[in-house]
Amino acid sequence: LGPWAVSGPALAIGTAALADAPWRQGAAARLAAECARLDALLSGAGLRVLGGTLLFRLAEGDAAHWHDRLGRQGILVRPFSARPRWLRFGLPPDEAAWARLERALAPG
């Protein structure tokens, strides 16, 4: 990727956040809980969760169907041309987005 420009304020905020051990631990615990929540939603929709990180989950299933269905509802997921059954799901940012995703993944 090469050099990546980061603004001074972003560096200051990031440095302060990373220096705050309780914040780091709380953020990691919150993200892990959200990953488990997303895994349960995806599994309930018939997708097989392959893994991921604390920021996204990778799932396998009828990716073309889910990419189209979710996209029509304004939910963006990432398909992989080299792995046509895979989709990457980011963590929803708030409860409203969680509710939207849950409705979109529901049968019907």
Classify residue 49: in a domain, yes or no.
yes
Average pLDDT over residues 67-96: 97
Classify residue 25: in a domain, yes or no.
no
Separation between Cα atoms, residue 108 and residue 96, nearest integer Å: 20
Q: For residue 89, what is the domain's CATH number?
A: 3.90.1150.10
Q: What mean pLDDT value characterizes the chain?
A: 95
Instruction: Residue 40: give the domain boundaries.
Output: 34-105
Interval 8-27: pLDDT, tens = 999 999 999 999 999 999 99
Nearest Cα neighbor of 61 from 83, 76, 92, 90 is 83
> Are the C-beta atoms of residues 3 and 67 closer than 8 Å to each other?
no
Classify residue 83: in a domain, yes or no.
yes
pLDDT at 1 over 70: no
User: What total number of domains does the chain contain?
Assistant: 1
Average pLDDT over residues 74-79: 97
**Beta partners for residue 88, in sequence order:** 58, 78
Interval 39-72: pLDDT, tens = 999 999 999 999 999 999 999 999 999 999 999 9
